[in-house]
Each structure stands twice: as structure tokens, then as C-alpha cells.
Structure 1
């Protein structure tokens, strides 16, 4: 513990030194390359020592998960009135707040729960309250699998932080980023992504693209797609200070098209680091098919409710899996899937069964709240009995105007089927809402779904084409079909919005977590309504 503490202190000293000499991340305009290389080399040495200790500590904690969780729970409770290890953590009596029953507010409708699970799997941005071990382990894993990824100024970061949070690697390795920290603290999200993209374009030797959420990388590369000529002019004219020079060939690569453009602009790219919650699956798919084709994607952290729960130690695998770290948050599990409809009764981390599907119940430092988080975890056991969730599934929200309960992820699959029936159409983005949110403006018809989509390849749809979505929903959800046949649910109303409308919506919303697919507030609904073109 002492060694790890000294390593963190030294890393913070190096970070403060970098800020004093001209700004973390960019290397500073007033600092020469040798100073940058020296700082980076020292930080890597400290990182290696700290990572080795953290790996040994994690391995030891994973060998005795039950004891690790008991000690953590005692720490969270402050020791006051808590049971001794071996007696308290395994009993439900130590918690005074009962779990909500299945089917209640926790299991479905978004509001509060959406905020709790946003970033599950977690964003690579962390706050001071999260374990310092996370960034150290993440950087060590990255260096082990992608040896060139930790080069000085070799990572482009895309995120709007409002100056209140730092990238995961900012403490232990502040010289990693090609743009200064201030680039993420400009007045708006759109401006931040634009400035960060400018800094990235001048660094031909980038090894990694990083974003807090995959939507931020999607929007940054969307800026490149929509306005690369203006970006090139800004780079050539040096409108930002210090003068930014245009790398040779940038214009030519953009003019060639967008498939694989990231690797053509930055030939040494090795990895894309970004959180990809289920609500942002659409953006990850689009990037893999076009701009980031051929690049591996790596989500390093699994987090929820302000707590870091686990780390992805296997970035080389295409399907993300995470080692739940028993010393980071107290975890219980509600059995999910077939035969799990009874009263809530949790299973402790040490008692999960291989192959069983669970919902996570989290007790973390932030508020000491004990609440179920709708993250379904198929948990084949990892070495030393610490479970490794695969394919984290986050059914954050549902559409339900008559109790039919259509989960957002399954709605997305129905929408994709409908889009495939529209010749030439490609889905760019979408949100949906229940008609009750519109109030009297929804008309006198039965409750229904309002769906807003941005498409590429078509300008308009016929009424018959729009109705395809309602047909797909009826085929995929028998309960919905029953209500439709009875007339107690009206047909889906599908609206086309202008190009860029959803990027504007995210810019207006600010850094509030993953994209909400089911709107629960009137303000964003009215915003997207104002962009309807058909």
C-alpha cells in the first residue's frame, strides 16, 4: 500500500510539474521535446512499479472474494455498528433499505435509474472519488497489448469535460495526450470536439483515439466528415495559438472518402478507447463500418452509480469482458432470466454461479445507497472466483403506454428491421417518446409512440413505409400487438429530422452521460421536434 501511495504521489507531482511548465497533455508550448520525453519516461517507470503492485493486490483480493467484500463493506459503513468480518457482509440484516420489487420503478422507467447506470460499462473519465488503481491498471493493460499506444502525445482525446474532470490517464501519465487539458474546457461541447480534432490532425503519429463515450468520437469524426475543408484551412492559417501546421496529405486523404479514414490520417493508430453503453451501440457500429474500419475497440472500465466496479484486462478480445474488482464496490446479485420472478433475494459476489444471469445490486461510497441497477451480467467465473461479466447489457429504459414494456434495445432491433425495408435508407440516429409527454398536442387518439429518426440516403418516406415500424413492433412484441388490435394503443408516429439534429441535441444536453433513447423530459423532445422535416 505504501509503494502504491508513493507512486500516486509521484505521478501527481509530475502532473503538477507539467501544468506549471505549460499545460498537461500537449507537452506545453514553452517546453522543449527533451523535457517532454524525460517526463514521459519517468512517468512510465513510476507507472510500471505501481501497476505491478496493483496487479498483485488485485490477484490477492480475487483469491478470497468474500473476505475482500466484507472488509470493503466495513469501510463503507465506517465501522460504526458494523459486524465483524465473517458475520456481517453475508447477512441481509446489515442493510436497512429494502430492495424495490421486480417490475417497479427500478426495473424499467428511466429517470433516476438512467442517471445511476449511465456509463455502464463506464466512461474512461473518472472523478476523484473513484479508485486510483483504475487508471494505473488501464494504462498497464494498454501498454501490454498495444506496446506503442503510450507514446508521448500519442493519444487524441475527444471529450467535453467543462474543466471538472480529467481523462483516466491524466494523473499517472499526463504527457500521453496531444491536446492541452484546456481544450476540453471550452464553453461548448461542439467547440471542444472541434479544437481537439484540430490538435489530433496535426499529430500524424497518433497511436490511439480516446473518448469518454463512443458518441463523442462519433461526433468528432462527424465534424471531420462535414467540415474537413474548413478544418484544413484553420490548420493552415494557424487560427489557434501556438501555430498549428497542416500535415502533408490531410486534404487528399479526406477527399478519398471516409471508409477507414482514421487509419489513413494516422497510419500508426493501434486502438480506439471508448465506453460503449448499449444505448450508444449505433455509434460504435457506424464507426466500425466506416471511419474506424479495421481498428480494435477497447472499453477499459465497468462503472455505475459513481463507482468503478471492474476493469477490462483483455483488450485484444473483440467482446468486452470485465473483472469485477472486489475491493472497489460492494456487489450483490439478483438472479435474472427464467424462473427468477420471485421476491428479491440477493446472492453475494463470492456465491455467483457460472453461466447464471444476474442483475447487479450496488452499494458504493456515493450515498451508501443499495439499489438494483439494470445491468444483466452473464457471469462465467474468472480465475480466483471473481466473476467476469461478458457483453454488459443495460436495459436502461422501456417504452410502455399500457404496461406493455418494450425495452430500448429490443426496440432498436425492430427499428433496424424496418429501416432495412426502406430502399436506400441508412439509420443515422433516433430517439423515441411516449405520446403522454406531448400532452394535449399529441391529439385525441390512443396513446402511442413518437419516433424521431435521422436517415441517410432518402429524403422522405411514404405512409406505407412509415407503418413498417409498427408492423415490426407487432411481430416482435405480442403484448404490443394485442393492445394494437384492441385499439388501446395507437400506431407509431414516425418523424424524419434534419441532418445533424441529434448532434445538436447532444451539444445542447452537455456531458450528461450516454444518449437517452427514450425521452422523459419535454425540453429535449421539443428540441428534436423543432428539427422535424417530414
Structure 2
């Protein structure tokens, strides 16, 4: 028989153990329960807003008239006259070439000023993502890889911050490389990830490049527990990285369902293609928002996360939109949201907030279809991003197509990145030759190019652009010069840009030019 004191002590210890176990269970359960409750509420709100959007799409013309009234601050009695001045008749006949002024981002991705409700875009995102991938909204199941120095911008799912396993302060570090590296470490700690999210495709690309080049050091840091001890994780990381990096995302995070990219079109397509072919092989890519003006004005949303082709629904209650048919006539006249034709391309003109009327964005869109009366569009190119040394105006998207065609003639070569420079920026270093382009490329599979291979790109440009060929024949444009740079050059170039913006394909700053010239190896 145990003494009474000993029995009491054992009983107290048992009670304490039970109390501690209950406290731990409650501490774990309460955040999880709170996450589920908030997620459920946000899903319901997103569903309600989606139904409202469906109703607005049943009469696009009326929805746009109401939007324009709010922008102009007019009453219902004058709306028709104001609309005629801004969008119809004589007022629509000529479009002033105005830059799209920076717009505030109310509610952080909540929509353009005056939109129906703050956070509308993110509510629609959460609803669409949860419907297509139910586990994607799990607590701490999303890793964010996004650099936001000095100007923190919320992630796509900002109304539900418990989605993210990566701490918000990590993105605000002054160094882009350091921010992405810290966020990658937090992502590697969470093996039960369902979503990889990045602001730019280039950010996810560079984070996974860091994994390729630094995985022994990353495994060492995780083993030492500088974040927190992770038994078993470093060995698994080392084993998977040692097997190679094709499909590495699915192997490191077996429950991964989707890659979310805030910006995946334009110059970011090159990185998307690279990720799909290698590190993120087998994963769907979802770009939820269509934004203009440096990502500040939200104009459309992608409601179909699981579909392979990205299409954005232009929301009639978020901005007043006009469209210039492409190619433009001598006297361009805009058409409105309810006057578009499927399959055609249009330049976008936006009135997004008071004081910013009929701003030409430089975006060219293709109408891919309709959801009720709302057009679904695909971004095609930016009119303002062109190469021109003699007025020949080669769009950067078409230049990239010519470059990729030339690349197929170089056996074993794979394009990692590239940038173009017009010889006027080179000054005396360009020599006494005629104005020309210089192209700096990072390739995989080739260390040098013969003169014949280098000429292939100039030849492709001549075949694809008759005006360029004519100037080359006359000698008023000199032969294109091609340079190979060492690995990692473009990662450093993106760091030097100093802001999380899409990679420019035409350099206009001497500082950036000097950086890339110092990395030429051939």
C-alpha cells in the first residue's frame, strides 16, 4: 500500500498531466477552429459576390453606365449625356495618349477605387481556389515567395492570413535574395504544403534556382535548427535534391496541388515555361488577377483555376473600359465592353478612378470568349515595349518568338534568360558601326556560339520583320550582336532593379547595362 501522501501526489500529477494535455489540445485546436470559421465565412462572402458578378454580367451595358456615373460623380439624370461625352459619339473618336497614373490599391487587391466592395478580388480568389482545390485553403498550407521591400503588398489570400506558413516580415527584407531564401526555408519546413504562391513567376524561379545551387547549405541550416529543429527533414531534402531537380516541387511537397502566380503573362511567360518543364512539372498554374498600372488597378479575375489556359473575366463594376481595335485605323474609334468580338485583339483604355479619364494602358488583349455578356480576355502584349533604332518598332513578344526560333537551330541549347539593348545606350563602346541591337543571353547546354550560330538570330529577325530586313539591306541598321553571360547574371540583375516588377526585356538604364556587360563570357 502506498502512503496516502504518495497516492495524493500521484493523483495530483495525473490531474496536472491531463490539464496540460487538455491545454495543449485547446491551444492547437483554437487556432485551427478559428481558421475554419473565418475560411467558411470568407467562402460564403466570395460566393455571394460571385453571384452578384453573375447578375452584373447579365447586362454589361447597364453595369458600365452605373460605373461611369460613380466615377464622374453625376446623378442618374445626366449619366447618359456624360457617357456620350466619354464613350460615345464625338468624344470617343480620338483617344489621348496618356500614361496610366498610379492608382491606390484599396483593401490591398480589393479592386480599383470605387469598386463594389473592398476585397472583392481576393474573395473571388478564395472562393474559386477552394472550389477547384478544396485542400488549398488549409491552415498554414500555402508558402509565399514574394519580395516587398519597403512597400509591403498583401498576398492573394490576404483576408485569410492563417493560410500562410511564411512570415510576412521576411518579404520586407532589404535584399531580394535574402527575402526569397528565408521564405524558402520556411516553405521547406512545411512538408504538408498545398499551394506555392509568388508575386512574380521570376520570384518562384529564382527561389528554386537557389534550392538547386544552395541545397547543401539549406539542409545544414535546417539540421542546425536555426529556425527550429527539424528531425528527418534535412535527410529527406538531401535525398530528393541528390536525385535531380525535375519535378522537385512535387517530391519535396507531396501534397502540393497548385502554383499561384500574381503575374504570369508578358515577360514572365519565359519563367512560367521553365518552371512547367522542370521544377514544377505536373502542377497546374493559376494566375488569379488581371491588373494594370504597375499592379495597382484590378480589372479582372480568373475564376477557373484548374483550366490550363488563363482567361480573365473583365468585371463591369470595377472600371469603365474602352477598346481600340487592332490593328488601329487612321482615326481610331473605341468600342465598349458590350461591343467586343470573340477572337479579335484590342488595345485597352481605362477610366479607373476620378481624375484618371480615358487612360491608354498600352495593353493589348484578345477576346477568348464570353461568360454571359462579360468578355473573357487573354493578355497578348504591351504596345509600349518595343525595340527600335530606326523606327522599325519590333514588339518584345515577337522578338522573343524570333529568338526562340533561332534557338531551335542551336542543338543542345536552352534559353534561361535574355535582355536587349539598343546601341544608343552603349555610347562610344558600341563602336563606329550603324545603330544596332545587342542581346545578352544566359544559356544552358552551350558555352560558346560560332559566328554562324550568332548570325541565325539576325537572320530570323530579317525573315520575321520586313522593315528590319529593309534597313539591314540598306545598311542603316547594323548586324545584331549576341553575348553570352555567366549563370546567375539575371538573378543579380533582378536584385539591382530594386523593386518587385516584371523583368524588362529592353534595358534603358546605364547602371543595369554595366552590370550585365561585366558578366559577359563570350
Q: Is the 8 A contact 2:314 2:374 kept in 1?
A: yes
Q: Which of 73, 76, 87 is matched with 2:71 structurally?
A: 76
Which moved further from structure 2: 517-526 or 279-288?
517-526
Corresponding position of 2:109: 126
Cα deviation per residue 1:175-233 (whole Å; 9 max; x = unaligned)? Answer: 00111111111121111100000000011110011111111111111110111111111
The separation in 1 between residues aligned to 2:378 and 2:225, in whole angstroms, is 46
Alignment of 1:62-461 (within 5 A): 62-79=57-74, 84-92=78-86, 126=109, 131-162=118-149, 164-240=151-227, 242-243=228-229, 247=233, 249-274=236-261, 275-305=263-293, 306-337=296-327, 340-365=328-353, 367-390=355-378, 392-461=380-449
Q: How far 1:32 moved relative to its partner?
A: 4.2
Q: How far 1:486 moved relative to its partner?
A: 0.6
CA shift in 2, pair 1:97/1:503, >3 Å: farther
CA shift in 2, pair 1:480/1:387, >3 Å: same
Q: How far 1:381 moved relative to its partner?
A: 4.4
The separation in 2 between residues aligned to 1:157 and 1:245, in whole angstroms, is 23
- Partner of 2:426, secondary structure, is helix
Q: Is the 8 A contact 1:497 1:531 kept in 2?
A: yes
Q: Is the 8 A contact 1:99 1:370 kept in 2?
A: no
Corresponding position of 1:516: 504
The separation in 1 between residues aligned to 2:431 and 2:191, in whole angstroms, is 55
- State the structure with bigger RCO (CA 8 A, min sep 6), 1 or 2: 1
Q: TM-score, normalised by structure 2?
A: 0.87
- Partner of 1:273, secondary structure, is strand
CA shift in 2, pair 1:116/1:422, >3 Å: farther
- Partner of 1:86, secondary structure, is helix
Q: How far 1:157 moved relative to its partner?
A: 0.6
The separation in 1 between residues aligned to 2:243 and 2:249, in whole angstroms, is 12
CA shift in 2, pair 1:361/1:402, >3 Å: same
Larger radius of gyration: 2
Cα deviation per residue 1:475-523 (whole Å; 9 max; x = unaligned)? Answer: 1111111110110000011111111000001011132421110112222
The separation in 1 between residues aligned to 2:87 and 2:60, in whole angstroms, is 20
Q: CA-atom RMSD, angstroms?
A: 2.6
Question: Is 1:484 aligned with 2:472?
Answer: yes
Q: How far 1:67 moved relative to its partner?
A: 1.8
The separation in 1 between residues aligned to 2:344 and 2:87, in whole angstroms, is 25
Q: How far 1:411 moved relative to its partner?
A: 0.7
The separation in 2 between residues aligned to 1:152 and 1:361, in whole angstroms, is 40
- Partner of 2:79, secondary structure, is coil
CA shift in 2, pair 1:116/1:342, >3 Å: farther
CA shift in 2, pair 1:190/1:490, >3 Å: same
Q: Is the 8 A contact 2:165 2:190 kept in 1?
A: yes
The separation in 2 between residues aligned to 1:529 and 1:186, in whole angstroms, is 28
Question: Is 1:49 aligned with 2:44?
Answer: yes
The separation in 2 between residues aligned to 1:259 and 1:141, in whole angstroms, is 29
Q: Is the 8 A contact 1:433 1:449 kept in 2?
A: yes
The separation in 1 between residues aligned to 2:346 and 2:157, in whole angstroms, is 34
CA shift in 2, pair 1:246/1:200, >3 Å: farther
CA shift in 2, pair 1:445/1:125, >3 Å: farther
The separation in 1 between residues aligned to 2:443 and 2:43, in whole angstroms, is 47
Q: Which ranges in structure 2 are unaligned for 5 or more consecutive residues?
A: 1-25
The separation in 1 between residues aligned to 2:508 and 2:394, in whole angstroms, is 15
